[in-house]
């Protein structure tokens, strides 16, 4: 009898005494460090196709193709026994089972070690060579295996399974499966992010463990776990029955994103537009934000008209902590409300019974604004309580008081042509406006849910959401104007496109310095009362009534300014005696191709002389208070009936009635006394912010702090005249919408396919009101100040019916490969300004006399079109998704949208009867800019995504992870052949993170290339952000640190082009805006 230990793969022979000592020490080491004992075996798959070979040959194949080592007593293993093994991508336990199924050999896998021994429980005598300590170390263990699933029966990848009271544990694989050796009679503790921990008795093989949702972690202001967030997102994407991307609360809380919009920009195909340097509006697959529908828990959110348009929802109003998760839905289903031609963003909030216990989380995240050198308070809180077993209440609060600065330079006019000394021509701009904005935004966001369970079948809820942003903007301006005759021909440098990059001037048209101010407010409120009833085992009913409200105000107050040089009220004439002398040099574009440089402008006499300042019409003698408001009331009922059928899973049908009103009012306020204050010098502020950035290094000027003056001027109604009633000043629209739908859900559960198909019918009755005057003998009255009176209110009704079919289908080609397709028809209604029956006549003023000038043959106007049809689009999505080991994904898809009834601008000639300022009748031939339904546009492209958690790497490297995605979008308007506004062809996101135990760090990059913005191109923008967290007291205390805009890049750069059909070429500077870097240091405390 041999007394040796065989180690296959690294054979070595030890004497008997060494064997006992070494094996005992080895097994003790395994017992002490068994936390990750099964990690290698869990993730390693083995493939073999061996027929009638020896056990020794199986061992050789196993050690040659893997890193496993086998430990056994040579006299206990028959190495010459013939076996057959045929497996494909199976775990090593399957191989061992096939080899030793009918033998008395037991095995245990500990990391990369496989220990083989006699099993005394099978009637075979014990190996007499093993001492007592060895028998204890090899105590009999039971192999337990099974699957962990969620409440819907979907396997949970990455769930933790631990033998209670020990460090013996493992995690589930991609299909939710686990296998672990435990002591007989052991209890398993099973946990997963977002689900309640569950204890179950170990019960052999084939266990099925179902976890119940526990949103406690997701309801926290920040939930730790970068890796968990990607796993949850991939899991949700995989089991979805439509084309959707998900961001869990980890992403919203953990990314360095101050609001929901900036978190959404990490999603494939999503781009954002900023307002006051913060993410505000979301575009999906290249379409304008007005084509993005926003819902909260599926409830439609109305949006008053804003700078993004009628239906552009400002997501910056909501704090990021309001959401437990975000869904970007790219393919429609019949039960979804219409409006998302680009797609739908659904903000999901948690309800009290999802959490099920009392919880309070507080967070403070002060923000340091580098440009403003200000520390801004930011607070978040979440509270949930169960008053009894039937009633629960939750409350989420967010507050942010932000002082920040934006430096900006605008090229206010199109380039002019100048002739240089050599006779060639160059393009130069003749007006540049540096400006500094010192802003304050106060953001308050509240969300609450009250939930009452009458019994297990009847559940009632009230969802409440409130958000408000108040903005106070004080702007300090400089205004440099010059004519082409002021350019010194031999002092111009040009680039390869002929654009003047450096321009020497002999004179100015004017040098102006001034200030403006405005106050804004964006307020929203939504409420929903719902009753959720399980009518029978197969029938479910949801009835819900909802109200949403959004009001925006923009109080644009007048400003005043001073003019030097040849401008109005100026006293300084810098014209040199020699016409070739350069008194100032303007450089457009620094060495990196961005920004504007000014030199030699500081030799100007005192800006503080009261004689150089005036309060005149050219710089804002009047102010406008714009108020827009939207209200929506709705009621809906949805029935779902389960069907016992091999193909159909359920039938869903429902109806909804919505009444929506929109209004816009503009109050124009004219100052009666335009005399500047006698102490105007007290309002002057020297602006030095351009000294330390790349826009205007070294440039300083005096700006005017106009806020105290206008606050005083408009505090007394006797100092100004308020006017309303003119065309374009008041608009109103009411929509009555009735929709019904029917949808069939198919597959799901254990089937390899799932999806839905159905149809939605939508009837819309729109009534619009506005001021206009056409036909008859009525004449408009033009006043000496250029305003127009004499309009009458008109009311127009428009009705239409749209039929919106859709279908979604997903098929599991294999356990890891999913094919998906979605198709449908979507719609979006016109904006209030587009469909209002208003007419507005534009008048010109003589530059010298300031009198109204009327041109009978060439006058401009503007009008709405109440007969507009809605946008509609047919769309198709096809994608493949391959789910990697450890929770990663590789996916790719193509999309196509054919947008019809595109609303475009058109010029119509109309004859308008007027009375001129002297009361004389005239007929004006007016070119009226209005809106018409055009031919349409196409949007097509593809998306690629990859994310991976590198847990299979050894040691320290196992904490690495990454997420990459890329979107290509090609759009074309049929009538013009141009790309759509706001559409970047190329955009991508790159995220890399490292996470171990209680800490993590993450860097994220977002890039989009150039896109059209009216008659401008907006230059490419790429921003890096960073974040980190550390858990100091497990679930009690966390510290977070975020950096926004690590590279300190501008967030807006525009260039003009003389031909919009050309590609962007990087020249012709138009606009540059810079807000700087932010630092956020957060403390999060879970009170209970």
State the SS3 of 141-182: EEEEEEEEECCCCCECCCCEEEECCCCCEEECCCCCEEEEEE
pLDDT at 823 over 90: yes
Of the given ranges (216-230, 374-388, 535-549, 737-751), which has the lowest mean pLDDT? 216-230
Asked whether residue 407 carries a pLDDT value surpassing 70, the answer given is: yes
- The Cα–Cα gap between 793 and 581 comes to 59
Residue 317: band (very low, low, confident or very high) from pLDDT cuts 50, 70, 90: confident
* 947: pLDDT strictly greater than 60: yes
Whether the pLDDT of residue 226 is over 70: the answer is: no
Mean pLDDT of 612-625: 51
Confidence of residue 258 (pLDDT cuts 50, 70, 90): low
3.40.50.300, 2.40.50.100, 2.60.40.1120, 3.60.15.10: CATH of 145-214: 2.60.40.1120
DSSP for 303-316? ---BTTBTT---GG
Q: Are 279 and 1023 in contact (CB under 8 A)?
A: no
Report how far residue 920's alpha carbon sits from residue 733's, in angstroms, rounded to the nearest whole number.
Answer: 35
CB 442 within 8 A of CB 469: yes
What pLDDT score does 394 carry?
Answer: 92
What proportion of the chain, given as a percentage, has pLDDT over 70? Answer: 73
User: Residue 1056: what pLDDT?
Assistant: 52
- Comparing 387 with 573, which gets the higher pLDDT? 387
Task: Provide mean pLDDT across the span 276-286.
Answer: 76
Mean pLDDT of the chain: 76
Contact status, residue 821 vs residue 757, Cβ threshold 8 Å: no
pLDDT in tens, 928-940: 888 888 778 899 9
Distance CA(986)–CA(972), nearest Å, equals: 15
Q: 45-49, 558-562, 766-770, 1056-1060: which has the minimum mean pLDDT?
A: 1056-1060
Domain boundaries, the chain: 5-139, 145-214, 222-352, 406-428+438-724, 762-867+903-933
pLDDT of residue 944: 94
Q: Under CATH, to which class is 5-139 assigned?
A: alpha beta
Q: What angle do CA 45, 51, 52 make, to 5 degrees?
A: 125
Report yes or no on whether pTM surpasses 0.75.
Answer: no
**Residue 857 clears pLDDT 90, i.e. is over it:** no
Alpha-carbon span 981 to 994, nearest angstrom: 38
Give the residue among 127, 158, 125 at the shortest CA–CA distance from 248: 158
Mean pLDDT of 560-577: 49
| Short-list 449, 335, 443, 441, CA closest to 398 | 443
| Res 182: pLDDT | 83
pLDDT exceeds cutoff 80 at 1018: no
Tell me the C-alpha distance between 573 and 540, whole Å: 81
Angle, CA of 792, 795 and 800, to the nearest 5°: 155
pLDDT band at 255 (very low <50, low <70, confident <90, very high): very low
Angstrom distances, CA of residue 559 to CA of 814, 980, 981: 67, 35, 32
What is the tens place of the pLDDT at every residue in 492-507? 777 665 666 677 777 7
| Higher per-residue confidence, 628 vs 644 | 628
The pLDDT of 991-1007, averaged and rounded, is 88
Superfamily of domain 222-352: TonB-dependent receptor, plug domain (2.170.130.10)
Contacts of 948 (CB under 8 A, 6+ apart): 884, 886, 888, 961, 962
According to the per-residue pLDDT averaged within each range, which of 102-116, 602-616, 874-888 is highest?
874-888
Res 740: pLDDT? 97
Statement: residue 69 has pLDDT above 80: no
Comparison of pLDDT for 942 and 181, the residue scoring more: 942
Tell me the pLDDT band of 415, cut-offs 50, 70 and 90: low
**SS3 for 934?**
coil
> Lowest-confidence range among 524-538, 789-803, 1047-1061?
1047-1061
Question: What mean pLDDT is predicted for residues 1043-1066?
Answer: 61
pLDDT of residue 571: 43
Contacts of 987 (CB under 8 A, 6+ apart): 271, 966, 967, 969, 1006, 1007, 1008, 1009
Comparing 130-134, 275-279, 722-726, which segment has the lowest mean pLDDT? 130-134
* Percent over 90 (pLDDT), the chain: 18
CA distances for 543 relative to 529, 639, 649, angstroms: 8, 9, 22
pLDDT at 817: 92
Q: What is the mean pLDDT of residues 773-785?
A: 67
Q: Which of the four pLDDT bands, split at 50, 70 and 90, describes residue 335?
A: very high
**According to DSSP H, which parts of 613-755 are helical?**
707-713
- Are residues 474 and 437 in contact, defined by beta-carbon separation less than 8 angstroms? yes
Strands (E), 184-255: 187-192, 195-201, 207-210, 244-248
Q: What confidence tier does 601 reach under pLDDT thresholds 50, 70, 90?
A: very low
Q: State residue 76's pLDDT score.
A: 76
Q: Which of 345-349, 496-500, 633-637 has the lowest mean pLDDT?
A: 496-500
């Amino acid at each position: 009898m041999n007394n040796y230990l065989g180690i296959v793969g690294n054979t070595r022979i030890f004497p008997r005494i060494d064997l006992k000592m070494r094996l005992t020490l080895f097994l003790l080491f395994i017992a002490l460090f068994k936390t990750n004992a099964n990690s290698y075996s869990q993730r390693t798959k083995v493939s073999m196709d061996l027929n009638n070979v020896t056990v020794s040959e199986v061992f050789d194949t196993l050690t040659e193709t893997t890193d496993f080592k086998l430990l056994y007593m040579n006299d206990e293993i028959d190495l010459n026994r013939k076996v057959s093994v045929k497996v494909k991508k199976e775990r090593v336990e399957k191989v061992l089972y096939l080899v030793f199924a009918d033998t008395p050999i037991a095995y245990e896998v500990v990391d990369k070690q496989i220990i083989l021994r006699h099993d005394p429980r099978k009637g075979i005598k014990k190996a007499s060579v093993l001492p007592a300590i060895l028998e204890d170390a090899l105590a009999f263990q039971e192999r337990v295996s099974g699957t962990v699933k969620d409440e819907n029966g979907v396997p949970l990848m990455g769930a933790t399974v631990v033998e209670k009271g020990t460090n013996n544990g493992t995690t589930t694989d991609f299909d939710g499966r686990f296998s672990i050796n435990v002591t007989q009679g052991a209890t398993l503790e099973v946990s997963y992010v977002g689900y309640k921990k569950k204890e179950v008795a170990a019960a052999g093989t084939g266990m099925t463990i179902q976890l119940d949702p526990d949103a406690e972690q997701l309801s926290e202001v920040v939930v730790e776990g970068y890796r968990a967030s990607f796993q949850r997102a991939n899991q949700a994407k995989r089991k979805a029955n439509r084309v959707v991307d998900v961001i869990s609360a980890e992403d919203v809380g953990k990314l360095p994103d101050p609001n929901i919009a900036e978190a959404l920009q990490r999603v494939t195909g999503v781009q954002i537009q900023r307002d006051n340097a913060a993410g505000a509006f979301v575009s999906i697959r290249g379409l304008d934000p007005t084509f993005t529908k926003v819902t909260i828990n599926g409830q439609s959110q109305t949006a008053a008209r804003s700078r993004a348009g009628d239906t552009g929802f400002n997501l910056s109003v909501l704090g990021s902590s309001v959401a437990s998760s975000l869904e970007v839905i790219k393919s429609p289903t019949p039960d979804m409300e219409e409006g998302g031609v680009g797609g739908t963003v659904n903000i999901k909030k948690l309800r009290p019974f999802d959490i099920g216990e009392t919880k309070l989380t507080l967070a403070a995240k002060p923000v340091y604004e580098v440009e403003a050198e200000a520390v801004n308070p930011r607070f978040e809180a979440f509270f949930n309580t169960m008053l009894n077993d039937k009633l629960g209440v939750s409350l989420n609060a967010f507050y942010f008081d932000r002082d920040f600065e934006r430096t900006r330079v605008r090229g206010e006019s199109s380039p002019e042509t100048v002739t240089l000394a050599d006779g060639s021509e160059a393009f130069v701009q003749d007006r540049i406006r540096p400006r500094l904005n010192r802003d304050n935004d106060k953001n308050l966001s509240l969300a609450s849910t009250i939930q009452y369970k009458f019994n297990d079948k009847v559940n009632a809820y009230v969802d409440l959401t409130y958000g408000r942003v108040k903005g106070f903007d004080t702007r300090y301006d400089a205004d440099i104007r010059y004519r082409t005759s002021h350019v010194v021909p031999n002092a111009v440098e040009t680039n390869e496109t002929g654009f003047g990059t450096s321009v020497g001037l002999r004179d100015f048209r004017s040098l102006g310095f001034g200030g403006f101010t405005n106050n804004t407010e964006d307020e929203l409120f939504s409420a929903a009362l719902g009753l959720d009833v399980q009518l029978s085992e197969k029938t479910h009913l949801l009835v819900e009534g909802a109200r949403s409200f959004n009001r925006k105000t923009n109080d644009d107050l007048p400003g005043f300014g001073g003019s030097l040089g040849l401008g109005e009220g100026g006293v300084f004439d810098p014209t040199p005696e020699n016409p070739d002398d350069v008194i100032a040099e303007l450089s457009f574009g620094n060495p990196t191709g961005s920004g504007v440089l000014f030199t030699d402008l500081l030799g100007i006499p005192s800006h503080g002389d009261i004689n150089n300042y005036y309060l005149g019409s050219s710089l804002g003698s009047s102010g406008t208070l714009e108020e827009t408001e939207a209200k929506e009331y709705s009621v809906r009922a949805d029935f779902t009936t389960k069907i016992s059928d091999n193909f159909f899973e359920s039938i869903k049908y429902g109806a909804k009635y919505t009444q929506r009103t929109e209004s816009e009012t503009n109050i124009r306020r004219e100052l009666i006394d335009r005399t500047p204050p006698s102490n105007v010098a007290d309002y002057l502020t020297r602006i030095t912010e351009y000294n330390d950035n790349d826009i205007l290094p070294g440039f300083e000027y005096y700006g005017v702090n106009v806020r105290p003056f206008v606050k005083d001027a408009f505090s007394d109604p006797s100092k100004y005249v308020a006017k309303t009633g003119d065309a374009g000043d008041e608009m109103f629209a009411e929509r009555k919408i009735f929709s019904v739908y029917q949808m069939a859900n198919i597959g799901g559960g254990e089937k390899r396919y799932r999806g839905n198909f159905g149809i939605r019918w939508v009837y819309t009755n729109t009534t619009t009101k506005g001021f206009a005057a056409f036909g008859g003998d009525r004449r408009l009255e033009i006043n000496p100040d250029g305003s127009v009176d004499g309009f009458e209110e008109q009311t127009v009704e428009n009705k239409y019916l749209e039929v919106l079919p859709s279908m979604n289908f997903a098929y599991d080609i294999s356990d890891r490969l999913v094919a998906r397709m979605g198709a449908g028809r979507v719609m979006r209604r016109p904006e209030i300004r587009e469909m209002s029956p208003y007419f507005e006549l534009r008048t010109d003023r003589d530059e010298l006399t300031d009198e109204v000038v009327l041109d009978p043959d060439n006058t401009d106007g503007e009008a709405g079109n109440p007969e507009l049809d809605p946008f509609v689009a047919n769309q198709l999505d096809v994608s493949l998704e391959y789910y990697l080991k450890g929770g990663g994904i590789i996916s790719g898809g193509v999309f196509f949208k054919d947008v019809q009834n595109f609303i475009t601008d058109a010029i119509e000639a109309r004859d308008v009867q007027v009375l001129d300022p002297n009361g004389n009748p005239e007929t004006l031939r007016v070119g009226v800019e209005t809106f018409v339904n055009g031919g349409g546009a196409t949007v097509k492209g593809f998306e690629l995504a990859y994310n991976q958690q590198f847990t299979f790497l050894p040691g320290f490297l196992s904490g690495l992870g990454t997420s990459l995605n890329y979107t290509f979008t090609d759009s074309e308007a049929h009538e013009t052949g141009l790309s759509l506004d706001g559409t970047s062809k190329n955009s991508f996101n790159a995220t890399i993170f490292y996470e171990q135990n209680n800490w993590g760090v993450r860097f994220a990059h977002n890039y989009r290339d150039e896109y059209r913005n009216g008659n401008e191109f907006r230059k490419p923008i790429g921003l890096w952000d960073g974040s980190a967290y550390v858990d100091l007291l497990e679930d009690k205390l966390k510290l977070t640190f975020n950096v926004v805009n690590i590279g300190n890049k501008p967030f807006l750069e525009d260039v003009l082009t003389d031909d919009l059909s050309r590609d962007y070429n990087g020249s012709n500077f138009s606009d540059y805006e810079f807000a700087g870097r932010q630092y956020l240091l957060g403390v999060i405390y879970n009170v209970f």
